[in-house]
Amino acid sequence: MRIATWNVNSVNARLETVLGWFERASPDVAVLQEIKCVDEKFPTEAFERLGYNVAVHGQKTYNGVAMLSKAPLEDVRRGLPGDETDEQARYIEAVVSGETPVRVVGIYLPNGNPVETEKFAYKLAWMERLNRRARELLRYEEPLVIAGDYNVIPRPEDAEKPDAWLGDALFRPESRGAYRALQNLGLTDAFMAVDGGPGAYTFWDYQAGAWQRNNGIRIDHALLSPQAADRLVRVDIDREQRGEEKPSDHVPVVVELAL
């Protein structure tokens, strides 16, 4: 099973590019972030024509996540538990049916900048809620993949110019510590398990020729339960997608599990 995560930075604005990638890569499951549309405006029929079942948790103009699967989706949850006042569409969860069912979670973790504002507090509180939900899901002892745009640079090696990110919410010790706390629950960073080398970036800013200079960062991750990590085969970062016409500033990350 090939499970992809991709922050598409507006699915309708880049629909031709996104559909082209799906036709080529043909992931079994994909979680998308920053779809930037309400549920009714998501191009569901276009993905259904490619053979996908679709679940959407959208939001007008901002945020929004979706899950696409060739197999039926069961037990779909929209929204991260723990704060009934949180109206931001950043979390979707479902069980992908099959001989070995897999629970897949798609997240768009808050950016958190500027750090001196309530946005950073919201990011850390959201990560604590995610930690609580992950603990609940790990009790099921089933294959679990929590994939998405984490907006966290885990290590200095995950940035071309780490010094430039000092003080940024993506690289603050609190953010990195919260990411490590997720791993300490027993979750495995899929990329670190199969590679872990420097320079494997998933995001390049649109400004200042970042793509041309390879001034990137790794902020799109997949964390695996022990039952999923045992089945991990490979991780592919489709960096060439960043060079396509009208690209997102993120590229797809694909995790392959032997199921």
250 is in an annotated binding site: yes
Is omega for the bond preceding 110 within 30 degrees of 0, making it cis? no
Residue among 57, 91, 149, 158 flagged as catalytic: 149
53 is in an annotated binding site: no
Strands (E), 162-257: 188-189, 203-204, 216-217, 220-224, 232-237, 253-257
User: CB within 8 A of 69, min separation 6: which ones?
Assistant: 28, 29, 30, 52, 53, 94, 96, 104
236 is in an annotated binding site: no
Residue among 28, 52, 57, 108 flagged as catalytic: 108
91 is catalytic: no
Q: Give the three-class secondary structure for 189.
A: strand
149 is in an annotated binding site: yes
Measure the CA–CA gap between 256 and 54, rounded to whole angstroms: 20
250 is catalytic: yes
34 is in an annotated binding site: yes
Q: Which helix (H) or strand (E) holds 205?
A: none
57 is catalytic: no
83 is in an annotated binding site: no
Annotated catalytic residues are: 108, 149, 250
Binding residues: 7, 34, 149, 151, 249-250
What residue numbers does the annotated binding site for Mg(2+) cover? 7, 34, 149, 151, 249-250
